[in-house]
Amino acid sequence: MSSKRIYHQYCGLAAALDILGERWTLMIIRELLVRPRRYGELLNNLPGIGTNLLAERLKFLVDEGIVAQVEVDGSRRQAYHLTETGQDLRPIVLGLARWGLHHLEDYSSEYSVRASWGLLAVEAMIDQDRVSVDEQYEFKIDDETFHIDVSDSVVHVIAGPAATPSVTVKTDAVTFVQIGAQKLSPLAATVTGKLSLEGDANAVLRACALLGLEADPLAAAAG
């Protein structure tokens, strides 16, 4: 009956995978790391998942104390969000995403892409050891706007526009992920008109360095 498939090993990794290891589970958590989501949003951002599976996974994650439901501002609509325990998974999911970026194949139309994944891609790419001056870099990826804030040598990725951005990056989601996966250089994307960079040239170089990208001088000059 309720014989869920678990590993039966007294080991931290086995315990983690007993909770997170099934198909779609970490993808759901990825979605909730960006922001709280409604059921329909999750369905839309996870093409291929069965509606029953999504409901079952959410119920399980709520039982495990990783996800909770909240009322959305007065209406009776509900949304799912990560508890503190769930937020603890952020560095793990970002680590997996960074590792996986290097294994992405060339883009083809059979892939689906969402702009909001760019936010997590940026977080995954950031090299905390390469912080230089305090400033902000704004990203407009399709309809999503967010920014990197460097203050007192601490880096944060924050939803919404920046107050005083040194650089503003504008592109589409596919181009952005291709750059993150090193399939496309910022220079190549700029000259083909897929990417626009506005702001101080040196700030562009610092942003590239922070994200581990080729600090291409020509890409900066194009801004």
Partner DNA sequence: CTGCATCCGCCTCGATACTG
Partner DNA sequence: CAGTATCGAGGCGGATGCAG
In the complex, the residues that contact a second copy under the rule CB under 8 A are 5, 7-21, 23, 26-27, 30, 47-48, 64, 85, 88-89, 91-93, 95-105, 107, 110-114, 117, 120-121, 124, 173-174, 177, 180-181
Cβ contact 25:31 at 8 Å: no
Residue 182: C-alpha distances to residues 60, 86, 188 (Å): 37, 30, 11
Q: Which residue has the tokens 């689906």?
A: 112
160: left (phi over 0), alpha (psi -120 to 50) or beta: left
56: partner contacted, choices DNA, a second copy, none (Cβ within 5-8 A by kind): DNA
180: partner contacted, choices a second copy, DNA, none (Cβ within 5-8 A by kind): a second copy
**Closest CB 49 distance from a second copy, rounded Å:** 9
Cβ contact 39:54 at 8 Å: yes
Among 195, 62, 214, 66, smallest CA distance to 139 is for: 195
Cβ contact 163:136 at 8 Å: yes
151: partner contacted, choices DNA, a second copy, none (Cβ within 5-8 A by kind): none
Taking residues 39 to 58 in sequence order and writing x for each that binds DNA by CB under 7 A, - otherwise, the string is xxx------xxxxxx-xx-x
Which residue number, 44 or 192, has a Cβ lying nearer to DNA?
Answer: 44
Which residues make up the interface to DNA (CB under 7 A)?
3-5, 22-24, 38-41, 48-53, 55-56, 58-59, 77-78
